[in-house]
Structure 1
Amino acid sequence: MDQMHRFNCSTILQQECGRRYFAYTPFSELVYSRFCNITKFRNYCLMHSLDVFRRYNIYENNIAKSNITEYIYGDSWNDLVLPLVNISINDDSFDDPCVQVNMFDLPSGNYHEVMFIYQPYCGDIWCGVNSAVPDFNKFSPWTCIPMRCKITIISISIICVIMSLLTTIANVVVIGVFLKTEKLRNNQSLYKMSIAFSDLIVGLFVFPSIIVTTYFSYSSSNLPFGYYNTIGFITTLSVSVSLLTLIMSGFDRVFAMMRPMKYSHRSTRKIAYYVIGATWCISSVVALLPILIPSVGYHMTTSRSLISIANGHAALAVIGIPLIMTWINGIAVYSVVKTRSNIRRPSKDSSASPRSRRRIVMEKKLAITLCIMIGVFTVCVLPSFVQQILGSAGLFRNANFAVFTTSEAFVVITFLSNSLWNCFIYNFRHTDFRERAKNIFCSKFKSNV
């Protein structure tokens, strides 16, 4: 606007004043008013910011001693707003858009603008400041954010801290219980420990990365070199391992229930080690591809909360294909459980030994636990998957995009919360797991006391 005014581009300036395409914040509306109708702008700011003028003695020392019209219609406006150079960016007066726009007319310093479009929780943010203010070195995008938005952002960060601690503790418990309990060491426990390790990564790195990413988004500092690739790799790795492990665990359950006589725990345990190793290797390759292929890459999500695959179609493929396979597996496991309904009454099967009946009951219990895990995983992941599809289809544009960024921030937390629930599922489904976890906690507590 200033360049059009200085270079006397009156026709273009008049067209822009008529369209007012960027007038979607109080600050930008006043910028238009400043260049399109300066008399209206001065009159509005003088009346609207009268308390600010009085606080800095502008009203009493200048306006009261002269005709007010001289400042609105004359050339003395710059003298009127000159004391604004003494305003601190931490002062409540700085949040006044009139104060920020009038700083543009200060004779010293350079003018700086900060603009965030479609911010989660906040919508559009746009502000300006003159470098001549006394504490300009403390100015950052965080300075421009309204208090209600700051409270929301801080609250979400606290939630992420809590989720990080709970996820880490829960998965350490899962790993500890399975490692220390011989009775629980079966093939399924190997898959569950693999999932627990991937979920532990989420608690140790992914949740904290949301706080770090949010902090740097609203600060004047830049993210460390290689941050996007490192966090993107870790996030993709943990998600891929969880999905692929659920798929492999489903195959193991279907085979165990459909071919119980051929299912050998020793042989299948050895296979499980190879499968888990292959799962981590494949997931590592998948997580490395965005780094090796620039057209895919990692980027910050629009909600400024998570580092994910930049290419929308690639992100959908990484999550969508394994997710659909997980559903197919879950349906297959559930169908096998239903068709083998006679295992609900093992005592009536005279041909089966007590050991065989116990094994059948255990296999059914493990299968149902797996179905519950797949169901909880689906509930956590599906909102993110659906939002990715809607976003790729271009259904969120202009005003609706602010809704998209806000919902995405909550969808991300819901998505990552899946890493927390498996411990509670095991605790609810298995008495042995619950008792062993309780004993570990009690022994640790007694040793500390």
Structure 2
Amino acid sequence: MNALCSYSFVITIVAICVGRDSSEGTIEYNINTTSALYNVSRYANAIYNKEAPNDTSSHITVNLEKTPDPSHNTKRLNPLRCRTGPVPEEPYIRPCCDYYYDLFSSRWTDGNYYLTTFLERLQRWNCTQLHTECERQTFSFTKFTELVYQRFCNPNELITSCISYIRDAITRYQFLDSEYSKQSNWTLLVESLNSDMISWPDLLSPCVQIALFDRQDGGVGRYLEIAEPFVPYCGLQWNGFDYRTATEKNVSPWMAMNVGCKAGIGIGMLVMGLGSLFTIICNSIILYVFGTARTLKNSQATYKISLAVADLTIGIVVWPNMIVMQYLTFFIPRSMGSVILRPYIYEGSNYPFDKPNVTYRYSGGSFTDIFPSDYSQAMGFFSNLGIVVSVYTLMLASIDRLLAIAFPMKYSRHRAEKIAKIVCVMLWLLSCVFSAVPIFADMNLRYTVLSSILIGATGEAALILLLIGLVVPLIITLILSVLTFLSSRKHARNRRDIIASQQRNHAYERDLERRLARTLILMVGAYTFSVLAPVCCSVAGLLSTTTTWSDPKNLNLAAANAYTTSEYLSVIILSTNSIWNFFIYNWRNKAFRDSVTLLRKRINSKPGFRHALIAIRRLISMARSAKSYTTVQIRRYSVPFLSTSMSNNVATVSSEVYVATFQQRSSMGSVNVLDKECPVQNPQPE
């Protein structure tokens, strides 16, 4: 299959290089609406942005036929026909308009598709879609995009909306005289703007952004747009920056956010960091306890070890990956593409670059540049592996508990322990194969970035992967847990009869199985609670037609922003499942609790640990002392001198008491002097 894909790709490149015309064959691109978001060719993306394709992992369907090239069928259109000049040849104008309109509508969230470029191209080609867009304004989601539509559809409305703000800005920065700026028209005003001298808050103003685009040295090829839909709490962020700002100030989505958005993302990253730390510590303790304590050796311990290893993978890989993804999505500067080399006509450029002394650049900021394909595939593999192993381990442990409760006389603990070891090894091997399927399978199934913290499988077979890897085993586990609970109540009388007959040894074993079953039910309940939020979010996304970013015509911005935030929180809730098992074991299992206590005592007895603990305490003490000293200084210089006693030349503080706090800490103890009223001498006038 890989050889066939490589062969098809080579045929495509050869066809492009030799410039096949319609009599020799056509290139058919599969860009239907159902798979447009993830399966549109990377090569088509490169053609749109006029750069060489550097990612051959995208889906491309090549169909060489001995038929003429139809001029009104976008699925059979050779995109090279749209690059013959600033305006395509007459027979291909309409199909080129249809092709680029569909391409932008499905991939505008990919990072390197600009609304200004899109509308300018429709305007230059005289496409009928421009009139439709001016009436509908499909992408008018923010104030900036609203002004972009005014710029191309009704310039007079743009001038009316922004000329007052631009005049005020020019007056404040003294670009022009106040009286002269009042008499200047829009063209003179925008030409007087200098982005190097404008502060960052003003550069974030939509009027300033569109005015800088309207300069003589601005426009397409000299402008950077950042459209980021996956911002939790705040929703879609869409801004535009001129050439100097884009190349000199390293702009990023983070720089364009308000304080509330930054605080929400910062708190989220802090929670993820703590989640990773707690997950690693808790599951390391679980592995140590169940791996060394002889009293906990049973089949359930084997399943718990397997589950702890899967959770440890979440703590080592998935939690940190969420932090890295947010850093790459929000903090990494978005840059323009490479410089367009001359001559432009030789490169097949469809931009009217008519200024020889001006440097133009391709569109930049693509998600494929921010998230390399190899990184997405690796993180998707480990994320899927942890989920699959966890849910199937719970399913196998539920089967083991059901057999132990329902058939106590036939159940053998030693045989069950051996079976558990074999089954867990097979589970890990099969899970690795299952999680690697999107990496080596056809491009209809692959790991891609789904949100700012989530990498998952997408494509036509993604739903099948989700059903097999999560939904089906989770439903089976819930059914087994209910059956185990019912069976446990049914055999309660039998256990009491065994205890009454003084078969203490067997009674202890049966009681142990009952307690293990209840512990497992708690584990399944915690896992179900963690999975419930993302499952409900996914179902809502599938049922709703207004939250899909790839369908902008039906997109409801408020609903899509709410869905993005709920998806963000649900993924965090799902990942916290890797921590709950430690607390369940510590609560339900006395032997586990005793082993943890013994482990803590052993660690505390280590000299190195004691020295490290003492050093940490000293650092905390120094931090507190520095904070107290700062507080004293602030209070000292904030005392108002409201009245003066001439007899003793002492100022009396009448509004507040001068409070000095002195803390002297030592190994012998601490001395605190609090609420001491201090007379302050009146300073002599100079």
Structure 2 matches for 1:14-93, cutoff 5 A? 15-49=132-166, 52-58=169-175, 61-65=176-180, 68-72=182-186, 75-80=187-192, 82-87=193-198, 91-93=200-202
Q: How many residues align?
A: 439
Query: Is the 1:167–1:420 Cα contact (8 Å) retained in structure 2?
Result: yes
The correspondence for 2:517, drawn from 354, 364, 367, is: 367
Residue 178 of structure 1: how far off its partner (Å):
1.1
Corresponding position: 1:189 with 2:301: yes
**Greater share of residues in helix:** 1
Residue 262 of structure 1: how far off its partner (Å):
2.7
Change (3 A) 1:233 1:13: closer
Residue 85 of structure 1: how far off its partner (Å):
4.5
Change (3 A) 1:374 1:279: same
Residue 189 of structure 1: how far off its partner (Å):
0.7
Distance in 2 between residues matched to 1:353 and 1:260, nearest whole Å: 14
Query: Is the 2:454–2:571 Cα contact (8 Å) retained in structure 1?
Result: yes
Q: What residue number does 2:264 align with?
A: 152
Query: Is the 1:316–1:385 Cα contact (8 Å) retained in structure 2?
Result: no
Corresponding position: 1:198 with 2:310: yes
Q: What residue number does 2:209 align with?
A: 100
Q: Structure 2: where are the runs of 5+ without partners?
A: 1-115, 335-368, 548-554, 611-686
Change (3 A) 1:314 1:424: same
Query: Percent identity over the alignment?
Result: 31
The correspondence for 2:540, drawn from 376, 390, 398, is: 390
Q: What residue number does 1:238 align with?
A: 386
Structure 2 matches for 1:23-422, cutoff 5 A? 23-49=140-166, 52-58=169-175, 61-65=176-180, 68-72=182-186, 75-80=187-192, 82-87=193-198, 91-108=200-217, 110-117=222-229, 119-133=231-245, 136=248, 138-218=250-330, 219=332, 220=334, 222-293=370-441, 294-301=443-450, 303-311=451-459, 312-317=462-467, 318-342=469-493, 345=496, 348-350=499-501, 352-397=502-547, 398-399=555-556, 400-422=559-581
Distance in 2 between residues matched to 1:424 and 1:5, nearest whole Å: 60
Residue 346 of structure 1: how far off its partner (Å):
6.2
Q: Deviation per CA, 1:371-417, whole angstroms, max 9, x where unpaired? A: 11111111111222232233233444311222222111111111111
Distance in 2 between residues matched to 1:215 and 1:353, nearest whole Å: 62
Change (3 A) 1:49 1:154: farther
Amino acid at match of 2:233: Y
Amino acid at match of 1:267: R
Residue 117 of structure 1: how far off its partner (Å):
3.4
Amino acid at match of 2:147: L
Query: Is the 1:232–1:298 Cα contact (8 Å) retained in structure 2?
Result: yes
Q: Deviation per CA, 1:273-303, whole angstroms, max 9, x where unpaired? A: 10111111121121011112221211112x3
Amino acid at match of 2:446: G
Distance in 2 between residues matched to 1:121 and 1:43, nearest whole Å: 32
Of stretches 170-179 and 48-57 in structure 1, the one that deviates more from structure 2 is 48-57
Of stretches 335-344 and 314-323 in structure 1, the one that deviates more from structure 2 is 335-344
Q: TM-score, normalised by structure 1?
A: 0.90
Change (3 A) 1:230 1:251: same
Residue 79 of structure 1: how far off its partner (Å):
3.3
Distance in 2 between residues matched to 1:62 and 1:17, nearest whole Å: 36
Query: Is the 2:325–2:452 Cα contact (8 Å) retained in structure 1?
Result: yes
Change (3 A) 1:286 1:238: same
Distance in 2 between residues matched to 1:85 and 1:37, nearest whole Å: 29
Query: Is the 1:346–1:357 Cα contact (8 Å) retained in structure 2?
Result: no
Query: Is the 1:85–1:106 Cα contact (8 Å) retained in structure 2?
Result: no
Amino acid at match of 1:406: T
Q: TM-score, normalised by structure 2?
A: 0.60
CA-based RMSD of the aligned residues comes to 2.5
Query: Is the 2:298–2:414 Cα contact (8 Å) retained in structure 1?
Result: no
Distance in 2 between residues matched to 1:5 and 1:395, nearest whole Å: 27
Amino acid at match of 1:52: A
Amino acid at match of 1:3: E
Query: Is the 2:406–2:484 Cα contact (8 Å) retained in structure 1?
Result: no
Amino acid at match of 1:41: L
Amino acid at match of 2:598: N
Partner-residue secondary structure (3-state), 2:539 = helix
Corresponding position: 1:432 with 2:591: yes
Distance in 1 between residues matched to 2:183 and 2:398, nearest whole Å: 80
Query: Is the 1:20–1:32 Cα contact (8 Å) retained in structure 2?
Result: yes
Greater RCO between the two (CA within 8 Å, min separation 6)? 1
Q: Deviation per CA, 1:245-295, whole angstroms, max 9, x where unpaired? A: 111111111222223233222222111110111111121121011112221
Amino acid at match of 1:31: V
Greater gyration radius: 2
Residue 198 of structure 1: how far off its partner (Å):
0.3
Partner-residue secondary structure (3-state), 2:244 = coil
Residue 65 of structure 1: how far off its partner (Å):
3.3
Distance in 1 between residues matched to 2:383 and 2:135, nearest whole Å: 47
Query: Is the 1:319–1:385 Cα contact (8 Å) retained in structure 2?
Result: no
